[in-house]
C-alpha cells in the first residue's frame, strides 16, 4: 500500500499481441508468474494502492532514468507536481549543468493560479525523497507540442539554476579526498559538504575509495575512517589527525555495537540490524534513498568490542539492541530493518518496544530459517560473512575446506577488515557460525504491528513462503515485496535500488499519518 509500481493486466480479455509488431509484443506481453502459460500486459502506467483500496494513477514508466546512482520514475515526480492546486500539468527532465546532472520540473499553472516555485518545491519534498525534488522549476504558459499534439520534451527551454553554496576543497588532503570521491562515484564535482553516501556511495564503493586514498596519500586509510566522517571536509580532517598522531586508529565506530552512518537530522532514525555476519556496514546503503535529515544507525554483534560470550538467544541480543536504540531516540518512534537473522532480532526488538508503548515501523529482509537457505548452515553463514567483507564466495567455492584460522588469515589480507585484531575477526567467525543455531529453536512472540516483508524470490519455493512462516506471530498487515535475488545478495547495491525507495516511501507515509 502506498508503494508505486507498474500496472499489469491479465485475463481472458487480453489480446495476443500487436499486429505485425513482434518486437513490441514481446516487450509488452510478458509471461505471468501467477499462472501456467498465461500472459500479462505491461501498461506502462505507474500506480499505487490507496488506503481505501483504490488504484491511484501516478504517471508513466516510459521515462525511468538513473540519476546520481538512483533509478527513478520521472512520472512519480510529475504526479507530485500536479498534485499541487496551482499546477495544471507538469513535465520533468534531467538537464546537464555546471553542477552536474539536475532534475528540472516544467509546470503550466492552473487557470487563475500563480505558481510559487519555492512553495511548490517544498510541497514536492513532502511527497518524494529529497534526491527526487527538482533543482529548478520553470513556469510556462503552455507546453511545446509536436505534430501529434504530444509534449515535445526536446523543445522545453533551458532552466536557470539557483546559485547554491559550494565550498571548494582548500587543503591538499581535501583536494585529494574530493578528487577520489569524483573518481569512484562518477559525479562531476564534489565540495567540502557533499556526503559520500548521499551521492550514491555504499560500503563496497567505500573500500575502493579508501584503497585509492591509501595509494595516493601513501598512508593507510582504512574503510572505517569514512564511517561517521563521510564528507571531504570531515574525512580529510580525520586523515590529517591520524597522520599527525602516526596512527590510523581513531575510534571504534566501525565495529562498535552502535554503528553511526548519519547522526544529524530531526526525523526518527532508521536502525539496520546485521545479518549472520554480525556487521551492519550495509546500513550505509540506505543513505541515498532516505530524507537527508533521517539519521541512520547500524546495530552490530557485541562480540567484537565487548567481553561477551556468544549470545545464547535472539532475545538476549534484542534486549541489548533496544537499549542502544532508546539511548539514541528516547521518545521514539522506531524504524527497524533487519536482514536474515537481523529480521529475527528486529522482530524481537519490535515486540519489546511495543511493550514499552513505542510506535514501531518494522521491515524484515528475507528472515528465513537457515535450513531453507542452504543445507549446510555454516557454509551459508560463511558466505554471508565474506560478502560483508566485500568477498564473493561462489556456489562452487570449497569453503568447507577452510578452518577458523584460515578464515582469520583471509580477513587479515583484506583492507575492509584488516584493521581488526585476529581475536575480533575470530569472534565474527564464531558468531556467524553460531547464528544458525541461535534461530533454529527460536520461538518468536507475537508482534502486534504491520510488517513490510522483502522476500528473496530467486530459486525459492514460493508455494510456502517466508511470509507463511511468520504470519502467526505478526498481528498487523504484512506487505510482501518480492526481490529477484538470492538470500545472501538482498543487501547488494543493485537490490537496494529496489528496496531503498520502498522503505523511504513507507516512512514518509507513516510520518504523514502520525502528523
Domains in the chain: boundaries: 5-60, 64-155, 172-245, 253-372+444-514
- Residue ranges of alpha helices (H) inside 389-492 are 404-413, 422-440, 466-470
The residues facing 271 across adjacent strands are: 297, 336
Catalytic annotation on 487?
A: yes
Is 3 within 8 Å of 505 (Cβ atoms)? yes
Half-sphere exposure of 267 (CA within 13 A, CB side): 22
- Reference 205, options 225, 224, 186, 184; nearest CA is 184
ω into residue 184 within 30 of 0, thus cis?
no
The residue annotated as part of the active site, out of 274, 347, 487, 492, is: 487
pLDDT at 272: 97
Helices 341-355/422-440 angle, 10° precision: 70
Asked whether 144 and 152 are in contact (CB, 8 A), the reply is yes
pLDDT at 431: 85
* Predicted pLDDT at 226: 82
**Which CATH number fits the domain 64-155, given the four candidates 3.40.50.2000, 3.30.300.30, 3.30.70.20, 3.40.50.2020?**
3.30.300.30
Number of CB atoms found within 10 A of residue 81's CB? 26
Burial class (CB in 10 A: 0-12, 13-18, 19+), 219: middle
* Residue closest to 261 by CA, chosen among 233, 290, 240, 237: 290
| Per-residue b or e along 107-125, where b marks 16 or more CB atoms closer than 10 Å to that residue's CB | bbeeeeeebeeeebbebbb
CATH topology of domain 253-372+444-514: Rossmann fold (3.40.50)
Q: Which residues of the chain have pLDDT under 50?
A: 248-251, 371-378, 393-397
User: Are the C-beta atoms of 341 and 276 separated by less than 8 Å?
Assistant: yes
Domain 5-60: CATH superfamily, name plus number: Luciferase; Domain 3 (2.30.38.10)
Grid cell digits, residue 303: 562480540
Residues forming a β-bridge with 299: 258, 273
User: Which residue's C-alpha cell is 575446506?
Assistant: 401
> Which SS3 state, helix, strand or coil, does residue 236 take?
helix
Per-residue pLDDT at 249: 46
Given this model, what pLDDT does residue 444 score?
A: 93
SS3 232: helix
CATH number of 172-245: 1.10.1200.10
Determine whether 371 is exposed, middle or buried from the number of CB atoms within 10 Å of its CB (0-12, 13-18, 19+).
exposed
* DSSP letters for 242-272: HHHHT-S---STTTSSEEEEE---SSPPEEE
pLDDT at site 320? 93
Task: Give how far the C-alpha of residue 348 lies from the chain's centroid of Cα atoms, to the nearest Å.
Answer: 22
Angle, helices 172-185/203-217, rounded to nearest 10 degrees: 140
Distance of CA 402 to the CA centre of its chain: 32
pLDDT in tens, 118-172: 889 888 887 887 778 888 899 999 999 888 788 888 899 988 665 557 788 989 8
Using CA atoms, how far apart are residues 269 and 326, in angstroms rounded to an integer?
A: 11
Q: Kindly list the distances between the CA atom of residue 43 and the CA atoms of 3, 5, 61, 355, 481, in Å, as whole numbers in the listed order.
A: 17, 11, 9, 45, 20
Q: For residue 27, give the C-alpha cell.
A: 516487450
Amino acid at each position: 500500500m502506498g508503494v508505486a509500481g507498474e500496472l499489469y493486466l491479465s485475463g481472458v480479455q487480453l489480446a495476443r499481441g500487436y499486429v505485425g509488431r513482434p518486437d513490441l509484443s514481446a516487450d509488452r506481453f510478458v509471461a505471468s508468474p501467477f499462472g501456467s502459460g498465461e500472459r500479462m500486459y505491461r501498461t506502462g502506467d505507474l500506480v499505487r494502492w490507496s488506503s481505501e483500496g483504490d488504484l491511484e494513477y501516478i504517471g508513466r514508466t516510459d521515462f525511468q532514468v538513473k540519476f546520481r546512482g538512483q533509478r527513478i520514475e520521472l512520472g512519480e515526480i510529475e504526479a507530485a507536481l500536479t498534485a499541487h492546486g496551482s499546477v495544471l500539468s507538469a513535465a520533468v527532465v534531467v538537464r546537464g549543468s555546471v553542477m552536474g546532472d539536475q532534475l528540472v520540473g516544467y509546470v503550466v499553472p492552473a487557470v487563475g493560479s500563480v505558481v510559487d516555485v519555492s512553495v511548490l518545491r517544498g510541497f514536492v519534498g513532502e511527497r518524494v525523497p529529497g534526491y527526487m525534488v527538482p533543482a529548478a522549476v520553470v513556469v510556462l504558459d503552455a507546453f511545446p507540442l509536436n505534430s501529434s499534439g504530444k509534449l515535445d520534451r526536446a523543445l522545453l527551454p533551458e532552466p536557470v539554476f539557483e546559485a547554491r553554496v559550494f565550498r571548494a576543497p582548500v587543503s591538499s588532503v581535501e583536494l585529494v579526498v574530493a578528487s577520489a570521491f569524483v573518481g569512484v562515484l562518477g559525479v562531476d564535482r564534489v565540495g567540502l559538504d557533499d556526503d559520500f553516501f548521499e551521492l550514491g556511495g555504499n560500503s563496497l564503493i567505500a573500500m575502493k575509495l579508501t584503497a585509492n586514498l591509501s595509494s595516493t596519500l601513501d598512508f593507510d586509510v582504512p574503510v572505517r575512517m569514512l564511517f561517521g566522517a563521510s564528507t571531504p571536509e570531515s574525512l580529510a580532517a580525520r586523515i590529517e589527525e591520524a597522520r599527525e598522531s602516526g596512527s590510523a586508529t581513531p575510534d571504534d565506530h566501525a565495529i562498535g555495537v552502535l554503528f553511526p552512518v548519519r547522526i544529524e537530522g530531526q526525523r526518527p532514525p532508521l536502525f539496520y540490524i546485521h545479518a549472520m555476519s554480525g556487521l551492519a556496514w550495509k546500513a550505509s546503503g540506505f543513505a541515498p534513498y532516505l530524507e537527508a535529515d533521517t539519521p541512520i544507525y547500524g546495530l552490530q554483534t557485541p562480540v567484537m568490542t565487548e567481553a561477551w560470550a556468544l549470545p545464547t538467544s535472539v532475545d538476549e541480543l534484542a534486549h541489548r539492541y533496544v537499549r542502544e536504540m532508546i539511548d539514541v531516540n528516547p521518545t521514539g518512534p522506531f524504524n527497524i530493518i533487519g536482514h536474515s537473522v537481523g529480521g529475527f532480532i528486529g522482530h524481537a526488538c519490535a515486540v519489546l518496544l511495543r511493550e514499552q508503548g513505542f510506535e514501531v515501523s518494522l521491515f524484515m529482509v528475507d528472515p528465513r530459517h537457515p535450513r531453507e537457505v542452504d543445507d549446510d548452515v555454516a557454509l551459508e553463514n560463511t558466505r554471508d560473512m565474506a560478502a560483508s567483507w566485500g568477498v564473493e564466495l561462489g556456489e562452487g567455492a570449497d569453503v568447507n575446506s577452510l578452518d577458523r584460522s584460515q578464515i582469520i588469515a583471509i580477513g587479515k589480507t583484506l583492507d575492509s577488515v584488516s584493521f581488526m585484531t585476529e581475536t575480533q575477526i575470530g569472534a565474527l567467525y564464531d558468531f556467524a557460525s553460531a547464528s544458525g543455531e541461535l534461530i533454529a529453536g527460536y520461538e518468536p512472540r507475537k508482534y502486534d504491528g504491520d510488517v513490510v516483508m522483502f522476500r528473496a524470490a530467486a530459486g525459492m519455493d514460493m508455494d510456502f513462503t517466508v511470509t507463511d512462516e511468520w504470519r502467526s506471530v505478526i498481528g498487523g498487515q504484512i506487505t510482501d515485496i518480492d526481490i529477484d535475488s538470492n538470500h545472501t545478495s538482498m543487501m547488494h547495491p543493485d537490490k537496494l535500488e529496489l528496496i531503498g525507495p520502498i522503505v523511504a516511501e513507507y516512512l514518509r507515509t507513516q510520518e504523514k499519518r502520525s502528523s
